């Protein structure tokens, strides 16, 4: 009984079809591209709390996708089994920011290209997308919207607050009003200040009957 008889020809053929050089090149390119995506995500993030773990996971997803595609392209039977295995996977993590989805698809697409040995396409598309995101993802509007949250001891000062805000901001709109009975009233306005000066918030907080006044950046996805 020979060595070939013990391990079967299919095992040896699969091992012989594996190219160490191609794998090293694809993984090396994937690491470089992953670091570039890591840098772009860090520079373009506009959320409240930056998640380093999510950014690291983008690089890991790119590398894992590269390995999977390397295996799939070398064996047709394995590719069918991989499709069946991945079809039962369910991801429950909620992605709140649409830009996070862009980076996820970017990492997966680059991993597929690297795993399929389409390195010129992967390296060409990477800086194009990166420059586009660096130029436009951090682009700020001329009139940045804000939310101002005002808590009143009672509702008597509501008219005075609205009159004051109309003089201090370009535009205002009532987004939410909560009346807590004897606990007071909470007003939430979307405002567009004349400039970056937020001194009028201090004035509002000193008005009689105002318990607190808070101004926060508003991206259009606020949930009370």
Distance CA(214)–CA(147), nearest Å, equals 8
* Least reliable range by pLDDT among 18-32, 94-108, 130-144, 164-178: 130-144
CB-based contact 26:72 (threshold 8 Å): no
Asked whether residue 86 carries a pLDDT value surpassing 80, the answer given is no
Asked whether residue 56 carries a pLDDT value surpassing 90, the answer given is yes
* Mean of the per-residue pLDDT values of the chain: 78
Distance CA(94)–CA(104), nearest Å, equals 13
Q: What is the pLDDT of residue 165?
A: 86
Strand partners, 94: none
DSSP state of 11: H
pLDDT digits (tens, 9 = 90+) for 184-224: 788 888 888 877 677 888 888 888 888 888 888 765 544 44
Residue 174: CB partners within 8 Å, gap ≥ 6?
162, 187, 188, 189
Residue 101: CB partners within 8 Å, gap ≥ 6?
95
Q: What is the pLDDT of residue 223?
A: 40
Distance CA(199)–CA(206), nearest Å, equals 11
CB-based contact 29:122 (threshold 8 Å): yes
Q: What is the pLDDT of residue 18?
A: 61
Average pLDDT for 29-34: 94
Residue 222 to residues 101, 163, 213, Cα–Cα distance (Å)? 19, 24, 17
Q: With pLDDT > 70 as the criterion, what percentage of the chain qualifies?
A: 74
Q: What is the pLDDT of residue 40?
A: 93
- Please give the residue that has the higher pLDDT: either 19 or 114: 114
pLDDT digits (tens, 9 = 90+) for 119-143: 899 999 899 999 999 888 765 555 6
- Cα 129 versus chain centre, distance: 15
Average pLDDT for 79-101: 65
Predicted TM-score (pTM) above 0.85: no
């Amino acid at each position: 009984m020979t060595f070939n008889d013990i391990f079967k020809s299919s095992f040896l053929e699969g091992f012989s079809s594996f190219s160490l050089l191609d794998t090293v090149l694809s993984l090396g390119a994937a690491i470089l591209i992953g670091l570039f995506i890591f840098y772009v995500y860090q520079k373009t993030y506009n959320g409240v709390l930056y998640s380093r773990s999510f950014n690291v996971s983008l690089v890991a997803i790119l590398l894992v996708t590269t390995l999977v595609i390397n295996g799939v392209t070398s064996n047709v039977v394995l590719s069918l089994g991989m499709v069946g295995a991945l079809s039962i996977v369910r991801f429950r993590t909620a992605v709140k920011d649409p830009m996070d989805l862009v980076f996820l698809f970017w990492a997966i697409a680059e991993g597929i290209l690297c795993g399929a040995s389409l390195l010129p396409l992967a390296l060409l598309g990477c800086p194009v997308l990166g420059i586009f995101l660096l130029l436009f993802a951090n682009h700020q509007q001329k009139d940045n919207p804000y939310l101002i949250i005002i808590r009143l001891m009672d509702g008597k000062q509501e008219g005075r607050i609205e009159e004051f805000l109309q003089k201090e901001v370009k535009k205002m709109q009532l987004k939410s009003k909560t009346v807590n009975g004897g606990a007071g009233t909470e007003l939430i306005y979307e405002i567009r200040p004349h400039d970056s000066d937020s001194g009028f918030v201090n004035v509002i907080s000193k008005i009689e009957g105002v318990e607190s006044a808070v101004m926060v950046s508003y991206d259009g996805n606020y949930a009370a």
